[in-house]
Amino acid sequence: MTIRVIVAGATGWTGSAVAKGVRAAEDLTLAGAVARSAAGRDIGEVLGEAAAGITVVATVAEALKAGADVLVDYTAPQAVKANTLQAVSAGVAVVIGTSGLSVDDYAEIDAAARANDVGVFAAGNYSITATLMTKFALTAAKYVADVEVIDYASAGKADTPSGTARELAERLSDLRQPATSKPVSELAGIRETRGGAVGAVQVHSLRLPGYVLSCEAQFGAPGERLLIRHDAGSDATPYVAGTLLAVRRVREQAGLRRGLDLLIE
C-alpha cells in the first residue's frame, strides 16, 4: 500500500519539485495538490507532466476531503500553521517545509499533534548538505562558546530569519555556553546592528538580490575564527530527498519532531 500525499504549494519553486518526486516514487501516491492560482487544473498538466487525474484545489481543507496519509506544506509563512492544524485535526500527519514558524507556534503544533495522536515533522532545511552544516556547527558549539549566525537570502524572502537560520540558532542556543561578547543591553550606539536574539544566539539577516539562501555559523575564540557555511543554489532538487524521507517516517511517532538530522543518523 502506498503513502497518500497531499502537497500544499504544489505549483511553487519547492512544492513543484516535491510533487514531481512524489509522483516518481513507487511507494508514494500524489493524493492532492493545493495552490490558489492553479485551482481547477490537473496537477500533472501544471507540472508539465502527464495528466495526474488530480485537480488542484485552493485550500488544504478542500484537499483533505479526498483522504490522505501525509500533508507536505511548502506554501507561505502566513498559511503554514493553519494548514498544519487542519491536517492534524483530520488525523493526517504533516511534513512542514515552510519557514516562519516560531518556538511558540511549534509548541502549539506539538500539543495538537499529541492530542490527535498524529506525527508532525519539520526541518528548517531538508537538504543533506545544509543538515550537515547544522550537525558540524552543533559539534563546534561543544568546544567554542562564542557563535553568531549570519542569514543571507533573496531580496523578496517573506520571512526573517530564514527557517534554516532560525532552527540553527535555536539548536545552538540549547547547547550554548555563556558568550564572552558584551550583552546587547549594555551597548552604546544602535543596538539593532547587533542583530536579533534567537534564544541566546544573535542572528543577522541580510536580504539582497543575488542570494538564494546561505547560512553561516561564525565561531570566535581568542586569536582565531571558524566559519561553517551552507550555500543553496537556484534549483529546488536538494530539498526533495529529505522531504520524501520525512514523508516516509513522519507517522512513526506522535507529536512534533524537528531537524532532518534526526532521520539521517
Ligand X SMILES: O=C(O)C1=N[C@H](C(=O)O)C[C@H](O)C1
List interacting residues with ligand X (CB under 6 A). 99, 124-125, 157, 162-164, 212-213, 232
Q: Which residues contact 36 (CB under 8 A, 6 or more apart)?
A: 58
Task: Tell me: does residue 11 bind ligand NDP (CB under 6 A).
Answer: yes
Q: Are 206 and 149 in contact (CB under 8 A)?
A: no
Residue 126: half-sphere exposure toward Cβ, Cα within 13 Å: 26
In this structure, the number of other CB atoms found within 10 A of the CB of residue 111 comes to 13
Q: Which is nearer to ligand X, 6 or 168 (CB)?
A: 168
- Give how far the C-alpha of residue 85 lies from the chain's centroid of Cα atoms, to the nearest Å: 16
Q: Which is nearer to ligand X, 88 or 236 (CB)?
A: 236
Binds 126: which of ligand X, ligand NDP, none (CB < 5-8 Å by kind)? ligand NDP
Stretch that binds ligand NDP, among 33-41, 178-186, 192-200, 222-230 (CB under 6 A): 33-41
Q: Which is nearer to ligand X, 55 or 160 (CB)?
A: 160
* Span 138-177, contacts to ligand NDP by CB under 6 A: 163
Q: Which is nearer to ligand X, 99 or 116 (CB)?
A: 99
Q: Which of 64, 74, 116, 161 binds ligand NDP (CB under 6 A)?
A: 74
Sort residue 91 into left (φ over 0), alpha (ψ -120 to 50) or beta.
Answer: left
Q: Which is nearer to ligand X, 114 or 207 (CB)?
A: 207
Q: Which of 27, 36, 154, 180 binds ligand NDP (CB under 6 A)?
A: 36
Distance CA 171, CA 259 (A): 9
Distance CA 195, CA 169 (A): 12
Distance CA 25, CA 2 (A): 9
Task: Tell me: does residue 37 bind ligand NDP (CB under 6 A).
Answer: yes
Distance CA 260, CA 265 (A): 9
- Least separation in angstroms between residue 77's CB and ligand X is 9
Contacts with ligand NDP, residue ranges (CB under 6 A): 8-15, 34-38, 74-77, 79, 97-100, 123-126, 163, 239
